[in-house]
Structure 1
């Protein structure tokens, strides 16, 4: 095993590391000069690891007289198991990645996914609780939500544990598209999307909900239209007096947002179907291949929306929303997606 050294070699490393006043790069260079005939040479990380392990009262892994690795090799890997990767374990202990991986599997450790979730502030919890409780109470009414696009950008992260610890890591929502778009979900069907100007002001947004949104809803029956719940977030353009006055007239008692009849809790994309369902589904279809231009992006979005609308997601979306509300209540308003 190329990453294992004898006791004598480790002793020489530690002496040279001290001689170089704990300059690992200089120690690695001096080691090569002093022992020119050795078969392998440690890099600067090994000198740092050897000193750290000895300072902690542990001895570095070594080769026995029979040529087999010392059992401390396994002990060191298990002590570093909270590291996020076998590569980091290798850097800290000198044990090769393949050996560390075998040790972890032999001890029945598994790499559990670390899920990124929206960052929350303590004052957000009561608002999220109140919102979820209200929505569960009103569920039997015919209600729908509409909101502009935003989604959580997820990456694969893992940690090794014997059992799933339901790990999470806070992150912020990010705008994915380089065009400003509005979209909505009504009874499992996508409404829109509608491209908005890049600079969204209260005046521009009011023009949209007054003059363009009715065209997007022209195929909706009058009975359904009268029972629609309109949802928006805390964007400054959504909070202007003119917008709130219009919503009070057009959706009297049936809109959700900042200072609305039902207050929308800040930083809660995990409670919005457009966030947790629509954009996740859409991006898989839109970004299946690299995009070359905005026009191509628009075409891919239109095709993806048509494909999504060809399937019935109403029951799935409603069920997921209710499950999330109940999970949020159980978590006392805190993050819950890692437990779903």
Structure 2
């Protein structure tokens, strides 16, 4: 037996048509008919769909014969297409209300008829015009040099430092415990976890490092210009021993941290690399806010942390051993692929006028 009279069904369609809101429709229905019972979400949408499809409210509970009618008509598909183009970030529930269809039907139209997918919007640091200009200038320079010499980017030592905490990084989205009942399990993490600070340099020829920022007792220390210069000397010694005269052709890249750009630091680099330096304060500027252009950030640190924390090191000594092991295990071919992607990223950055591009990769 149909629970709604023709008058009630007509009012349901009218209220929904005017407001495009299920909640408002339910509220108006209760107020108009002086009742506590309001039509359900599905009933409202089914009645509205029936009216749009047939122009008649008829009997909602009757069984139709033959093939089941569909709301995926050319008219509805075009309506959904128009709504999505107008407001692509609106929720599917709100889109369904505006289209006068159920959310299930709307999702079928989006996926099967319009071939659309729900993409997650990436959150990035806002870039100023100055940042974009610097990024564009660097990308243009690297693209130009790479067009002259396809191996140019492979001869850049990309350098950086990173912290590795003993507790590691726990993502609640990846932490799951399968059980039939709520488990008595928590993930404990220290407020101030012990850590090591490690420096590495990566090029198409491999990795030099790790080198540690620590005092004579092995305790981790902050990075200042004296300690950074000591690490640079350690790096140069390792690289010169391994690559010899090839170092006379290679460039050094570093970010704009104060210890990197101190006058004494830049003087040391000039004595060893000449003008082959990409850095703030150098003739070839490294753009700020550009982790998407250095393989240290978009590749190496994430890769190393994924390897280091697999076994869960329990002491700083063990953590350092795992870091060293993970660095040594990175094959040269992987380094070459990572550096090769820098040139591709630079070209994409240039096409975006220095703006964000990583969400398009």
TM-score bin, normalised by smaller chain: 0.5 to 0.7
In 2, the alpha carbon distance for the partners of 1:12 and 1:221 equals 78
Are 1:226 and 2:248 counterparts? Answer: yes
CA contact (8 A) 2:254 2:286 kept: yes
SS of aligned partner of 1:110: coil
Shift of 1:127: 2.5
SS of aligned partner of 1:190: strand
CA contact (8 A) 2:202 2:296 kept: yes
Are 1:206 and 2:229 counterparts? Answer: yes
Map of 1:240 onto structure 2: 262
Q: Per-residue CA shift, 1:88-147, capped at 9, x if unaligned?
A: 646877855433211212322321644555542212333233323333454435722232
CA contact (8 A) 2:201 2:208 kept: yes
CA contact (8 A) 2:12 2:29 kept: no
In 2, the alpha carbon distance for the partners of 1:209 and 1:31 equals 77
Shift of 1:248: 1.7
Taking only aligned residues, the RMSD between alpha carbons, in angstroms, comes to 4.5
CA contact (8 A) 2:203 2:336 kept: no
CA contact (8 A) 2:211 2:231 kept: no
| Greater share of helix | 2
| Count, aligned residues | 289
SS of aligned partner of 1:262: coil
Map of 1:121 onto structure 2: 128
1:174-323 paired onto structure 2 within 5 Å: 179-196=196-213, 197=220, 199-210=222-233, 212-214=234-236, 216-217=238-239, 219-286=241-308, 295=316, 298=320, 301-309=323-331, 312-323=333-344
In 1, the alpha carbon distance for the partners of 2:195 and 2:83 equals 42
- Structure 2: which 5+ residue stretches go unaligned? 1-7, 52-57, 61-68, 163-193, 214-219
Larger radius of gyration: 2
SS of aligned partner of 2:155: coil
Shift of 1:281: 3.7
CA contact (8 A) 2:158 2:254 kept: yes
In 1, the alpha carbon distance for the partners of 2:161 and 2:95 equals 40
Q: 1:66 to 1:319 in 2, by over 3 A?
A: farther
TM-score normalised by structure 2 residue count: 0.61
Q: 1:138 to 1:112 in 2, by over 3 A?
A: same
